[in-house]
Structure 1
Amino acid sequence: MTSTEQLTGERADLLQTLRRHRGFLLHTVDGLTDEQAATRTTVSELCLGGLIKHVAGTEQRWMLFAVGGAEAMEREPIDWVGQFRMAPGETLAGLVERFQSVADETDELIAALDLDSAHPLPEAPWFEPGASWTVRRVVLHLIAETSQHAGHADILREAIDGAKTMG
């Protein structure tokens, strides 16, 4: 695979943007205890550790799609509720380590995959029937997903101790 340090142009831009938003998300958990990371600070089920877990799982599944299509993406079932919570025995450090491992794998794939390669989307009510996404579209989706959840995380963190990612 191509080293991500040697990337230029579109690939470098996509990767730099994804890394920036991952950094915003990771900043929201900096210095927290496991108990703080598992705390629900709003009426929603979201906690900071759960957001780290969710974004890592989502990124991993979408990159499985980028490589092998819907079938590869759907090999493992999704815990729709548990993906947003820290389970007993999970630690923030462990969730961050997995997040970073998934990010490293994604970065290598972005460096190597054909951005124009496309696969039909899985059948789901939230996807247009018969639509396909390119690897480029998958990466853009990951940027949007990570950015959105970094914003959620910033609100949750501010409710814990007043810290802000952007403030």
Structure 2
Amino acid sequence: MSTTAIASSELTDLLAVLARARGFLRHTVRGLTDEQARLTPTASQLSLGGLVKHVRTVEEGWLRFAVGGAELMESVEADWENGFRMLPHETLDGLLADYAETAAATERTLAGLDLDTAHPLPVAPWFEAGASWSVRTVVLHVIAETSQHSGHADIIRETIDGQKTMG
């Protein structure tokens, strides 16, 4: 198998795992009203709509990093105060539509990138100084972030109405 075919197969596998993680999150919020999606019924201040919004923002930021490094990632100002909240003017359907657009853009973008391309990480206390991440590592990070928040969403949904994603 050629190097290009191996890279394509690897990207196909990574995107399939990411799609599955996104699917769990979308399934978890299925059938909710906007009011339910805004609820914060656990000890945290997380809401289901806020989680959908957050994973979209995170995915977009890391994809900017994959394309152009920390400078491009940081070129869009993050709204940290409202990043985990579903605001009164937002709807769950709208957040899910935005998330679907992000997913499609991610797949198109990654199709044109080399998974081995690496960029230095942004300067932040949670990153090792001078470390770099490859596009592959970025995709794995987005998968982990989406999966972690899908688990949070499952707990919140079960608290709201007893519904579980699995089980």
User: Which amino acid in 1 is paired with 2:69?
Assistant: G
Matches within 5 A, 1:21-60: 21-60=21-60
Distance 1:76 1:112 in 2: 22
**Equivalence for 1:102:** 102
Distance 1:144 1:110 in 2: 17
**Which has the larger displacement, 72-81 or 126-135?**
72-81
**Equivalence for 1:75:** 75
- Give the percent of matched residue pairs that are identical in Structure 1 and Structure 2: 62
Q: Is the 8 A contact 1:15 1:110 kept in 2?
A: no
Distance 1:108 1:64 in 2: 13
**Equivalence for 1:90:** 90
User: Residue 119 of structure 1: SS of its match in structure 2?
Assistant: strand
User: Residue 82 of structure 1: SS of its match in structure 2?
Assistant: coil
Distance 2:8 2:60 in 1: 24
Matches within 5 A, 1:75-154: 75-154=75-154
Deviation at 1:81, TM superposition (A): 2.6
Distance 2:12 2:71 in 1: 28
**Equivalence for 1:160:** 160
TM-score by length of 1: 0.94
User: Which amino acid in 2 is paired with 1:124?
Assistant: A
Instruction: Number of aligned residue pairs: give it.
Output: 161
> What is the alpha-carbon root mean square deviation over aligned residues?
1.1
Deviation at 1:8, TM superposition (A): 4.8
User: Which amino acid in 1 is paired with 2:101?
Assistant: S
Which string of whole-angstrom CA distances, capped at 9 and with x for unpartnered residues, describes residues 34-87 of structure 1?
000000011211000000000000000000000011011001222223111111
Which stretches in structure 1 are left out of the alignment for 5+ residues?
1-6
**Equivalence for 1:15:** 15
